[in-house]
A and B are shown apart, each in its own frame.
Chain A
């Protein structure tokens, strides 16, 4: 069989049209991914006044709980939660130390930009990454104002003594804090909060904002708190007291 050149061009156009139109066959909303309780709104409150600069209980607990890998390269090491030191440029305010993590925003820009819906918000407000759907485009890392996401640059394996409840993430995908969703679903606190209560100074509080009787809802109502980059309108669910 022979084809003239116009047929080749026509076939090329048809193939491109197929690529363009094929997605239209799937314009059906993705099914709900979880059975999380939509009446809850998990949130965290961090009292900066209680957070000591030499304490890293939260970050260590997170790393152990979630098998977060370290590669020995600060530019690529993964941090689901990290301690940051703040020094007032004018020198009028005292220096402070506080943990920064994914803010599990109500309007998460990472979810908005994710082309495959790999980043999504559970009904209870926890922002997660489906590691099987992430294509590693890194657009979410560009969009997140909290630098809360990391690309897995190297192959990883479950460390000796690692937590078998949290599967490791393969290289080429993006990962971040999950609010220890596996623990929350079991009625436990996130590992960082538990470690802060146990080994730290009780600076972290976790709970359901929608429950008016919860400690976090009461505290946020009664003391002045703030969120990071409030100006962006993302409605973060990590609140800070004393900042």
Chain B
């Protein structure tokens, strides 16, 4: 079995250029971290109203995508889609790389990152953050175990793969619940928040896997049957429709109830409406669906990759919207009253990310990129040739 896989050569100038590019961004991200650490969060543009800024968008997007990146492996191991079996290693390794990048940003954006170990010494099991410490580290363990069984103990793959699949659902539920359980914030507090995070992770994780497979295979001169790309496209269509459904149901419910329609009106027409309509709805849902359903673009690799890029951008817009709009929307402490104060009570929070926040976030992405390109060079993660079963014909527009 191991002969089917081959590490990339990784000797070309373009490989080293990519390595240097990611390395540079990791270094810049590290510089941004030390700058914030030395000067305090005052050098960011976060405020006492919007306390989680752009680094959290990068961190949570990567963490959510990590769960989704395991899709291909789960499809093969848990749901018996044998034609994706050849991507299982890639899938599990990518999940680890994404998680590492996301966690790095999350930890480095703490007010006191030097105290990170305290999360492992003093634990509060009522806190979703505490649970997430276990979920993130546990997910990495699961992925390593899964990889190990794939490489050496095939007979345990089903067990390890099923456990990893279950864990990833719990992981993303945990990430979504960081927001969903917060009763004080009308925009967060919903039982549907966590399932929506799962749907978003499925679409963005599939989209990223698709892009990386196409680019890696093309740039290393490997063959990949177009039917596999079409199969992934169909998964992306399904998951994007799932995201659309959950978003519509959530907004419909909010608009229907008089006590939450103010929040829904803010989402649809308030200060962050462009992020919602432009980023989440148009770029994240409508554009990918349009591209993927049109025969000309939906059957071309270029069109499918474009739709995947849109899907990832939509995922980041979704996370950014949840975070920024959710925090900027003022607390309604005294219903029926307009409230003003020197602490800006009653005002919509204003936040524009600073450069240093952007660089920290990009540093996290670069960590993921670096781990990925090193991984495919040093480990046999990808098949020499990706083949689709004869007679298998995925649906096409």
Interface residues of A (CB under 8 A from B): 5-6, 8-10, 12-13, 16-17, 19-20, 22-23, 26-27, 30, 71, 74-79, 82-90, 100, 109, 111-118, 133-139, 141-147, 149-155, 171-174, 228-229, 232, 243
Name the residue in A30, A145, A146 with the highest tally of chain B Cβ atoms < 10 Å from its Cβ. A145
Of B75-83, B144-152, B291-299, the stretch lying at the interface with chain A is B144-152
Q: Which residue of B lies closest to A131 (CB)?
A: B112
Cβ-defined contact, A142 with B40, below 8 A: no
B156 to chain A, nearest CB (A): 14
Q: List 21 A–B pairs whose Cβ atoms lie within 8 Å, in order of A's numbering.
A: A6-B152, A12-B144, A13-B141, A13-B145, A23-B119, A27-B123, A85-B341, A89-B338, A112-B127, A113-B127, A115-B124, A117-B124, A134-B115, A135-B115, A138-B51, A142-B188, A145-B331, A147-B333, A147-B343, A172-B41, A172-B110
Cβ-defined contact, B137 with A113, below 8 A: no
Cβ-defined contact, A133 with B115, below 8 A: yes
Is B129's beta carbon under 8 Å from chain A? Answer: yes
User: Which B residues, 327 to 385, have Cβ-Cβ distances below 8 Å to chain A?
Assistant: 327, 331, 333-334, 336-346, 349-350, 378-380
Closest 9 pairs (CB-CB, A-B): A136-B111, A13-B144, A172-B111, A145-B184, A75-B47, A171-B40, A115-B129, A20-B137, A16-B140
Q: Say which size band chain B's interface belongs to.
A: 35 or more
Q: Which residue of B lies closest to A83 (CB)?
A: B341
Taking A151-B48, A228-B333 as contacts, is the C-beta distance between A17 and B338 under 8 angstroms?
A: no
Determine the chain B residues whose CB is within 8 A of the CB of A79 once the complex forms.
Answer: 342-343
Give the docked Cα–Cα distance between A84 and B347 (Å): 12
Determine the chain A residues whose CB is within 8 A of the CB of B133 once the complex forms.
Answer: 23, 115
Give the docked Cα–Cα distance between A137 and B110 (Å): 5
Q: Which residue of A lies closest to B118 (CB)?
A: A116
Is B42's beta carbon under 8 Å from chain A? Answer: yes
Determine the chain B residues whose CB is within 8 A of the CB of A83 once the complex forms.
Answer: 341-342
Contacting residue for A109 out of B144, B148, B184, B327, CB 8 A: B184
Cβ-defined contact, A16 with B141, below 8 A: yes
Give the docked Cα–Cα distance between A94 and B133 (Å): 49
B258 to chain A, nearest CB (A): 14
Give the docked Cα–Cα distance between A9 and B148 (Å): 7
Name the residue in A116, A151, A232 with the highest tally of chain B Cβ atoms < 10 Å from its Cβ. A116
Cβ-defined contact, B137 with A16, below 8 A: yes
Cβ-defined contact, B184 with A112, below 8 A: no
A11 to chain B, nearest CB (A): 9
